[in-house]
Structure 1
Amino acid sequence: MKVVLSLLLMVVGLAVAQHFGTAKFSFQSPSFQQSGQNTFSGLQSGSNNKKDRNVHAISNGRQYHFSWQANPSRVFNGRAAFTYCSGLGPGWSAVGVSSRSEWNFLKGILESERDLRYFWMGGSNNRGRWTWATGERFGPFEAWSPRGGEGRGQPDNRDPPENCLGALKNVYNDGTTWHDINCRHEKHVVCEKA
């Protein structure tokens, strides 16, 4: 099904480019297709621009980069993930979640990737206060797991200090949820440019 959608997007992109004559499109192999307002993956306008190569999806005016699409074998500890995202260029940071719709988008990305079980997000804990790397306010929406490795609700600081935030896909039979995690662990990361 993904292959058919991918080919369809490529054909539509080429037809648009031919019709308007000035549009430049390139096709990047998508790992996730989501229907919805202002959401797409795989088809990028003007991809000859270096900045566009960092964009793997756009949703509600925000651009997203998925480290596993850029380099499937490269993973990061929590702090290195933040550095990787900011190194993509001005305005980039590890992803912050500002709404249920943004979380549903990110959750859909994780759930659509068969071989991906988790990724870092841009949340960090400083003396019991969670903040987003994007500078957005933490909350009012949160998706903490009701149970972690010891069956306790998240955040639980089970492996102290658990000062980084990850999205985990059913690791503890708890669906796709947020977990506080020791930053020494290595994972892929989702980056965001608002």
Structure 2
Amino acid sequence: MILKLAISFSTLFIILFIQPVHSQKGSGNGDLQLPNESDCRNRIIHASFGGKQYFFSWEYSLTQNLSVNWITARNICRRHCMDTVSIETLEENQFIENRMLLTGTRFTWTSGRKCDFEGCDRPDLQPTHINGWFWSGSGVRLGSRNGRVEGDWSNTGGDGEAQPDNREFRVKGEHEESCIAVMNNFYNDGIVWHDIACYHKKPFVCESSDQLM
């Protein structure tokens, strides 16, 4: 079944661990698509792991050259009763790494997002570049950036700073790096996480979602 790209953009986005709906910045903006019954029934599955099913955009002939921004990636997945991947265990992290190594994929979007929009002024999220990260696909918060473990956030970036570093905003004064991508040795740092401005276009991984079935 061809993955459909009909996206209606606005400034609203539902976050599971923060109530209610809030506007967001950058290309993390947009209306979240509801699942499509036909697309869900005919979705492509490339692998199963840990009780979840996965679709890798670069492994399907109709999307192998497709790169989209963060919110578009989420909505493609959501139409198929999936969401962009939430990497919640070391084992799942290794699974995604191995798939990228196998295919030589340079980078991929995840559902990772920084809480830097309306409603993110809660004390426990401050400062948001350290404590405000979460998986939007599952609603699970990430631990503090300062509690990094081997194999997740990179220890370097474009100017040598440990991730997340919000480099694009610091250097250019625009576009917060509010979304998480997995990068394949982009800075000679292995396959690790980087904060990226959400408007950038990348391949993506979809993960089955019990909430959307």
TM-score normalised by L of structure 1 = 0.69
What is residue 107 of structure 2 aligned with on the other side? 118
Secondary structure of the equivalent of 2:140? Answer: coil
Displacement after TM superposition at 1:98 (Å): 1.1
What is residue 103 of structure 1 aligned with on the other side? 93
Q: Within 5 A, what are the aligned runs for 1:23-102?
A: 51=41, 53-70=43-60, 71-89=63-81, 92-102=82-92
Q: 1:81 to 1:53 in 2, by over 3 A?
A: closer
What is residue 135 of structure 2 aligned with on the other side? 132
Q: 1:43-79: CA deviations, max 9, x gaps?
A: xxxxxx9736421100011000111223112111111
Check the 8 A contact 1:93/1:134 in 2, yes or no: yes
Distance 1:97 1:138 in 2: 11
Q: 1:169-191: CA deviations, max 9, x gaps?
A: 00001000000001111100001
Q: What residue ranges of structure 2 are gaps of 5+ in the alignment? A: 1-38, 117-127, 170-175
Distance 2:194 2:108 in 1: 11
Secondary structure of the equivalent of 1:174? Answer: coil
* 1:164 maps to 2:179: yes
Distance 1:96 1:83 in 2: 15
What is residue 26 of structure 1 aligned with on the other side? none
Q: What residue ranges of structure 1 are gaps of 5+ in the alignment? A: 1-48
What is residue 164 of structure 2 aligned with on the other side? 155
Larger RCO, structures 1/2 (Cα 8 Å, 6+ apart): 2
Q: 1:125 to 1:139 in 2, by over 3 A?
A: closer
* AA at the equivalent of 1:58: S
Displacement after TM superposition at 1:136 (Å): 4.3
* AA at the equivalent of 1:81: A
User: How many residues are paired up?
Assistant: 143
Q: 1:63-111: CA deviations, max 9, x gaps?
A: 001112231121111111111111113xx11100111001010111111
Distance 1:183 1:106 in 2: 20
Displacement after TM superposition at 1:138 (Å): 2.9
Secondary structure of the equivalent of 1:188? Answer: coil
TM-score normalised by L of structure 2 = 0.63
Distance 1:139 1:123 in 2: 9
Q: Within 5 A, what are the aligned runs for 1:14-25?
A: none
Aligned-pair identity in percent equals 33
Distance 1:139 1:178 in 2: 12
Distance 1:185 1:174 in 2: 20
Distance 1:62 1:163 in 2: 26
